[in-house]
Structure formats: structure tokens, C-alpha cells
């Protein structure tokens, strides 16, 4: 599957401001999504948000949506667990 990744404004801002080490860990995990044919077994769906999944990277969460029609993974939000679901 040749996916593209699209970032909303909030994830772009978060990665720009985050510590390099943390940003790299998050980007590495997002890159892993590109090589998967389906939703990874470690991803969990978000209750109340149809088609939105999350991956966990330490204390951080990445919310994303897979848009199969466009072969795109849309990164919706990245933040600490304590802030992401608010």
C-alpha cells in the first residue's frame, strides 16, 4: 500500500515545538504506519469517533484516520495522554 501522510495544523505545530528526541520517536512510529497493509494490531479505535485510531508512544498519543479512497493517513492530533482527549 503506497500511503501518503497528511498532517493537520496541530500535529505540525506539536512536532515543531517538541524535543527532538520525542519528535523522532513519534515520527518513527508514524512512518511504521506507511508500511502496514491494515490498521496495526497495536492501534486502538477511539470511542465516539468513527474511523479514528490512536497509537501510543510512551506518554504521547497520535490520533489518525485512514482514508482508503485517497490512500492517505491523516494525522489529526498529537499530544500527551493527559491533554489529547479533551
What digits encode the pLDDT tens for the residues 15-67?
Answer: 999 999 999 999 999 888 877 666 666 678 787 778 899 999 999 999 999 88
- In the chain, % helix, strand, coil (3-state, to 5) comes to 35, 35, 30
| Helix, strand, or coil (residue 83) | helix
- Segments making up each domain of the chain, as ranges: 4-84
Question: Helices 9-17 & 20-35, crossing angle to 10 degrees?
Answer: 140
The CATH class given to the 4-84 domain equals alpha beta
Q: What is the largest CA-CA distance in the chain?
A: 34
| Helix, strand, or coil (residue 2) | coil
Record the pTM.
0.84
Which residues are bridge partners to 66 per DSSP? 73
Which of 10-14, 28-32, 73-77 has the least mean pLDDT? 28-32
> What pLDDT was estimated at residue 38?
60
Amino acid at each position: 500500500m503506497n500511503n501518503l501522510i497528511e498532517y493537520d495544523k496541530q500535529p505540525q505545530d506539536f512536532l515543531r515545538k517538541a524535543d527532538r528526541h520525542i519528535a523522532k520517536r513519534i515520527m518513527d512510529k508514524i512512518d511504521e504506519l506507511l508500511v502496514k497493509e491494515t490498521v496495526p494490531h497495536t492501534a486502538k479505535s477511539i470511542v465516539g469517533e468513527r474511523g479514528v485510531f490512536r497509537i501510543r508512544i510512551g506518554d504521547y498519543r497520535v490520533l489518525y484516520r485512514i482514508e482508503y479512497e485517497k490512500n492517505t493517513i491523516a494525522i489529526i492530533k498529537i499530544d500527551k495522554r493527559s491533554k489529547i482527549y479533551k
